[in-house]
Structure 1
Amino acid sequence: MIASNRLARQPLPPPSARSMLLTVIGEFLYDAEEGAWTAALMKVLGGMGIEDHAARQLLSRAASAKWIKRERVGRGVRWHLADHGRALAADGIKRSHAFLDGPSPWNDEWLVLTITVPQRKNSVRNRLNGGLTWLGMGNPTPGVWVTPHVDRARELSELISTLGLTESALVLTGNLRPGGLGNHEVVDRAWDLTDLAESYQTLLTQDGASEPGDDDELLLAYIELVSLQQRFMRLDPQLPKELLPEWIGRDGAVLFQRRREQWSAQAHAHWLRVVEESAPK
């Protein structure tokens, strides 16, 4: 396999090798009871530009993190999703459906978090900020995070509990009242979407400029597509039309949906062939 590099100009910074592995296992192992041979994963990761020794380290670290688990079969090793990896994949699939379907009509309710993290807990703060961004939350004023996606309250509570911050957090839902910021002022302060809009524009202007030639290229292009969608999902708060009437990100979601429908079946079929051909002789 040869790395695809379909886009001449990358709309977002490249993903880490760890992120690419999570994309592959989440997409192809989630519903695959048979798992995947080491050689199949190595071949695909190699196609994404990850060298053999780095790919083997990646698999070992993913196993230590409980993303995947080994099954020794004769002289070979087959990999399956472990419980933590399955939970991560399920969360990604759920968020992907929401991203591709677009936000539901908004009922004027916000999910609000007020929280303080001690200065000495930098690593906790970084994990919190990353988790809040994944939940689509913005930061309009110091110590306050908001999102119009009130259905993510359970996930927010789990994040706070996991980080041990329950005693310094207040979570609530409700409408804004006169006397403070209005809905659109909250949006302006909580999210700066200028760079993200430019990234979407870079993506959209290159669609169709280069098509995959054979099955190997299509499989890699599909993996790159899913990875790119995941990175856009992490950055895009997916605000409803009531708060952001014109948003290029919705055109981006349509592109991802169309390309996934176009390539998914063929990519998954070729993946199964790669797994079969990689079985120990």
Structure 2
Amino acid sequence: MTSADPIESPLPRASARSYLLTVLGEFTYPDGAAWTTVLLKVLGGLGVEEHAARQAIARSAAAGWIESERQGRAVRWRLTNAGRAVVEEGQRRSEEFISAPVSWDGRWLILLVSLPQNERTTRKRLYGGLTWLRMGNPTPGLWLTPHAESVDELRDLITRFELTDTAICFSGRTEDVGLTDAQIVRRAWDLTELADHYRNFLEQYGGHRPAGGDDVLLRHIELRNLLQRFLRLDPQLPEQLLPNWVGREAAELFRTRRDQWSTAAHTRWNDLLNA
């Protein structure tokens, strides 16, 4: 597989497994499959060495996200139910991100939760889950998000960590006591570095035009992978809380490039799959 030099990523380099799930989610969801040889070619075009690509496939299978099918001496891979669930969640969040922002009704979803200091690993995993739910941490033990509709996901997270006996969750508007909404945002999220990443993304992808073939396929995958990684960093705050946010301009570029590159990228993928 040949391609033009890759665009320098505005974020730290993606892992082999991250690229693998992007490829499978984009081109095999919901019930398609991909030959090992095609996955190795495409991941190689993205700069992933063969041993790292094979390791990513093996680890994804061990995690229960993908399963193999053998046809003669050839092997192909498809998403399991668990893998499809991961892809579906990513797709839902991606569509929310690149769609027009929804007006905020002023309500916060608020969680009071704490873990003993000696449960460092559990606390790190919990905080990672809360961050994925776009929650910020303005004061110790308090997490909140303007995305009050995330309550079901938050309930599942707290249940999974067996914290239902100690956590307290409620929703509501702030009063004229203590921190204002603007002060909450400044304390809960440090978005300076993320804004710089977005500006780098706009500069690098704003004028890029793939040549077609392998190039458009690889650039499309890079773009989809970048979108997923930005989703893990951006709390997607409403305009009332964060006006003039550069992330909204980036979301528009993600949407534009996806619409421009998707058809050609899928055509090239099918060519490789059927070669």
Q: TM-score range by the shorter chain?
A: over 0.9
Alignment of 1:73-152 (within 5 A): 73-152=71-150
Equivalent position of 1:15 in the other structure: 14
Shift of 1:213: 2.1
Moved more, 260-269 or 125-134: 125-134
- Counterparts of 2:2 and 2:190 in 1: how far apart (Å)? 37
- Counterparts of 2:22 and 2:6 in 1: how far apart (Å)? 18
Higher relative contact order (CA 8 A, sep 6+): 1
Equivalent position of 2:169 in the other structure: 171
Shift of 1:102: 3.7
- Counterparts of 1:148 and 1:36 in 2: how far apart (Å)? 39
Contact 2:3/2:214, CA 8 A, preserved across alignment: no
- For residues 3-47 of structure 1, what are the alpha-carbon distances to aligned partners after superposition, in whole Å with 9 as ceiling and x for unaligned? 655434x3111111121112111111213x341111111111111
Shift of 1:167: 2.3
Aligned-partner SS, 2:101: coil
Contact 1:4/1:48, CA 8 A, preserved across alignment: no
Aligned-partner SS, 2:7: coil
Distance 1:4 1:191, change over 3 A: farther
Shift of 1:242: 1.0
Amino acid at match of 1:150: A
TM normalised by structure 2 equals 0.95
Contact 1:139/1:189, CA 8 A, preserved across alignment: yes
Contact 1:103/1:239, CA 8 A, preserved across alignment: no
- Counterparts of 1:158 and 1:172 in 2: how far apart (Å)? 15
Aligned-partner SS, 1:166: coil
Contact 2:212/2:264, CA 8 A, preserved across alignment: no
- Counterparts of 1:114 and 1:212 in 2: how far apart (Å)? 48
Shift of 1:160: 1.6
Q: Which runs of 5+ in 2 are unaligned?
A: none
- For residues 76-113 of structure 1, what are the alpha-carbon distances to aligned partners after superposition, in whole Å with 9 as ceiling and x for unaligned? 21211011111110000000010001431000100111
Amino acid at match of 1:25: L
Equivalent position of 2:70 in the other structure: 72
Shift of 1:2: 4.0
Distance 1:164 1:5, change over 3 A: farther
Q: Which runs of 5+ in 1 are unaligned?
A: none
Contact 2:17/2:53, CA 8 A, preserved across alignment: no
- Counterparts of 2:122 and 2:224 in 1: how far apart (Å)? 29
TM normalised by structure 1 equals 0.93
Shift of 1:164: 2.3
Contact 2:135/2:145, CA 8 A, preserved across alignment: yes
**How many aligned residue pairs are there?**
275
Name the % identity: 50
Equivalent position of 2:25 in the other structure: 26
2:232 maps to 1:234: yes
Contact 1:4/1:221, CA 8 A, preserved across alignment: no
